[in-house]
Amino acid sequence: MTTDALKIYPIKGGEVGRARLAVLAGVLAPTTEQHLDRAGPLAGLKVVDVGCGGGDVTFALARRVGPKGQVIGIDLDEEKLGWARAEAQAQGLSHVRFETCDVTQAWPVIGADLVYARFILTHLRDPGALLARAMEALKPGAMILVEDIDIAGRFSYPENAAVSAAADLYIALSQKRGGDPLIGRRLDFLLEEAGFRHVETTVVQPFSRQGGAKDVAALTFAAIGDGLKAEGLASAEEIARIAREIDDFNDRPDTVVSMPRIFQPWGRKG
Residues 33-62 that bind ligand SAM (CB under 6 A): 51-53, 56-57
98 forms part of the interface with ligand SAM (CB under 6 A): no
Instruction: Show the DSSP H helices in 38-77 as ranges.
Output: 56-65
103 forms part of the interface with ligand SAM (CB under 6 A): yes
User: Which is closer to ligand SAM, CB of 11 or CB of 234?
Assistant: 11
Each residue 147-186 as x (binds ligand SAM by CB under 6 A) or -, in order, gives ----------------------------------------
User: Which is closer to ligand SAM, CB of 56 or CB of 113?
Assistant: 56
Q: What is the dihedral of CA 75, 32, 211, 242, to 10 degrees?
A: 50
146 forms part of the interface with ligand SAM (CB under 6 A): no
b/e string for 53-82 if b means 16 or more Cβ within 10 A?
bbbbbbbbbbebbeeebbbbbbbbbebbbe
118 forms part of the interface with ligand SAM (CB under 6 A): yes
Strands 70-75 and 96-100: parallel
Q: How many angstroms separate the CA atoms of 4 and 94, rounded?
A: 31
Q: How many angstroms separate the CA atoms of 160 and 133, rounded?
A: 41
Candidate list 62, 76, 183, 257; residue touching ligand SAM; CB under 6 A? 76
Q: Binding residues for ligand SAM, how many (CB under 6 A)?
A: 23
**Would you tell me how many other CB atoms lie within 10 Å of the CB of residue 261?**
18
77 forms part of the interface with ligand SAM (CB under 6 A): yes
DSSP string, 212-230: THHHHHHHHHHHHHHHHHH
Q: How many angstroms separate the CA atoms of 183 and 21, rounded?
A: 20
Q: Cis peptide before 67, with omega less than 30 degrees from 0?
A: no
21 forms part of the interface with ligand SAM (CB under 6 A): yes
**Segment lying near ligand SAM (by CB under 6 A), choices 39-47, 59-67, 100-108, 233-241:** 100-108
145 forms part of the interface with ligand SAM (CB under 6 A): no
Candidate list 83, 98, 107, 119; residue touching ligand SAM; CB under 6 A? 119
Beta-bridge partners for 46: 70
CB of 24 to ligand SAM, least distance (A): 6
224 forms part of the interface with ligand SAM (CB under 6 A): no
Q: What number of helices (H) and strands (E) belong to the chain?
A: 9, 10
222 forms part of the interface with ligand SAM (CB under 6 A): no
Binding site for ligand SAM (CB under 6 A): 5-6, 9, 21, 24-25, 51-53, 56-57, 75-77, 80, 102-104, 118-120, 123-124
